[in-house]
Amino acid sequence: MTDKVAKLTLGDQSYEFPVMSGSVGPDVIDIRSLYAKTGLFTYDPGFTSTAACDSAITYIDGDKGELLYRGYPIDQLAAESSYIEVCYLLLYGELPTKAQLAEFDTLVTRHTMVHEQMHYFYRGFRRDAHPMAIMTGVVGAMAAFYHDSTDISDPEQREIASIRMIAKMPTIAAMAYKYSVGQPFVYPRNGLDYASNFLHMCFSVPAEEYKINPTIARAMDLIFTLHADHEQNASTSTVRLSGSSDANPFACIAAGVACLWGPAHGGANEAALNMLRQIGSVDRIPEFIARAKDKNDPFRLMGFGHRVYKNYDPRAKVMQQTAKEVLDLLGVENNPTLQVAQELERIALEDPYFVDRKLYPNVDFYSGIILDAIGFPTSMFTVIFAMSRTVGWIAQWKEMIGDPQKKIGRPRQLYNGSPARDYKPITDR
């Protein structure tokens, strides 16, 4: 709290509301008493000016293009850390000691297998079902298989549910992929690190040994780190709102998966690669730039723009560099999709339409190029985003559940429907 106040004048009435400060970033006006004092609501569809909670997990400075996980800059974590260490940091607030990391890594590793009955759950889906549809269903079904960790009032059950989700999401994701390509499920291998295990479960087949390429595994781990958390984005807010009703954690994460699927959010990585392929060559870029600027055309540059970043998304910078490294390693010279992406970025960042609106590439612009080069179909891109973001959803959910001020989320509205009226019998209509 600060000693600052915000004054609101309505007619001849004047009201004061306290102003709260965080550790960094914008202050907030505490309007919790607004309706009681004035009988008015605030109006903010899309929550462009609304802080829905206070949190100590992730901070974004949209103007500077900065992203901090528990205070550590994303570019430093990308260069120095690992996803499993970032999971520990997001969950517990501090970087682990060597012993803490080893214990956490072992704990997660020991929970990577799923209940054997889940294999039969997948059989209910069509083989051509979108893997995100499968993820949404299977993650929600985890409550049916792991009912012993659904009591959110029990800290131990909250902890085991968190570990189970972080550990099992790669297995569930890989199973969704294997099911869609008609190959047998591959069990996790405890001797592999998180990213290598995921690659193993996705790409190994019983017929031959699958060799993990360490550079590809490193790129995969980096993608997981870059997507791990991102403050109060749409899917995280969905998880928090679901959790505010004391729903079990598996149901909350399933809600987050469903929300992330939208092309305006996590589905943009799949849409961005499809767009780059649709453009096909650099000489068609002006046509698509014109469409993106045309208000009568619903087309938008997928992977561009962001509600918070009004500067370059720091994750996109790391992603672009990783894309070049992976393509070089794979000997993919002059990848047309990367060439289109880089030329599209160059042209857009010189175009007043994009410059004036501060539209820059976001995390989804380059990620698909890497995932495509590694061998994933576009339908798996958002699945991988959901896997990575599970730790962020869990950390935010745990923070909310542990908040003594927790209340069920229940926004109000500006009603512009019909005032009260009497029922009219059908004979009189």
Interface residues toward ligand SDX, by CB under 6 A: 46, 230, 233, 264-266, 268, 292, 300-308, 357, 359, 362-364
Q: Residue 6 or 308: which CB sits closer to ligand SDX? A: 308
Instruction: Assess whether 364 carries a catalytic annotation.
Output: yes
How many other CB atoms sit within 10 Å of the CB of residue 107? Answer: 14
Instruction: Assess whether 200 carries a catalytic annotation.
Output: no
Element (H, E) at 58: strand 58-61
Cβ at position 262, least distance to ligand SDX in Å? 8
User: 383-422: string of b/e by CB count within 10 Å (b at 16+)?
Assistant: bbbbbbbbbbbbbbbbbbbeeeeeeeeeeeeeeeeeeeee
Cβ at position 299, least distance to ligand SDX in Å? 8
Q: Residue 175 or 228: which CB sits closer to ligand SDX? A: 228
Element (H, E) at 260: helix 249-260
Q: Residue 201 or 341: which CB sits closer to ligand SDX? A: 341
Alpha-carbon distances, residue 122 vs 189, 328, 375, 387 (angstroms): 21, 37, 22, 18
Cβ at position 357, least distance to ligand SDX in Å? 4
Cβ at position 305, least distance to ligand SDX in Å? 2
Contact (Cβ atoms closer than 8 angstroms) between residue 307 and residue 277: no
Cβ at position 187, least distance to ligand SDX in Å? 31
Alpha-carbon distances, residue 324 vs 83, 320, 330, 345, 359 (angstroms): 21, 7, 10, 15, 23
Cβ at position 385, least distance to ligand SDX in Å? 8
Catalytic residue among 364, 372, 422, 428: 364
- List the Cα angle 318/319/324 in 5-degree steps: 100
Q: Residue 326 or 344: which CB sits closer to ligand SDX? A: 344
Q: Residue 10 or 264: which CB sits closer to ligand SDX? A: 264
Q: Is 424 left (phi over 0), alpha (psi -120 to 50) or beta?
A: beta
Q: How many helices (H) and strands (E) does the chain have?
A: 18, 6
Q: Residue 193 or 270: which CB sits closer to ligand SDX? A: 270
How many other CB atoms sit within 10 Å of the CB of residue 68? Answer: 18
Cβ at position 297, least distance to ligand SDX in Å? 10
Rounded to whole angstroms, the Cα distance separating 198 from 170 reads 6
Contact (Cβ atoms closer than 8 angstroms) between residue 398 and residue 161: no
Maximum separation of any 2 CA atoms in the chain, in Å: 81
Residue nearest to ligand SDX according to CB distances in the complex: 305
Element (H, E) at 422: none
Catalytic residue among 221, 306, 313, 372: 306
Q: Residue 158 or 306: which CB sits closer to ligand SDX? A: 306
| Locus of tokens 């962020």 | 392
Nearest to 266 by CA among 311, 314, 223: 223
Catalytic center residues: 306, 364
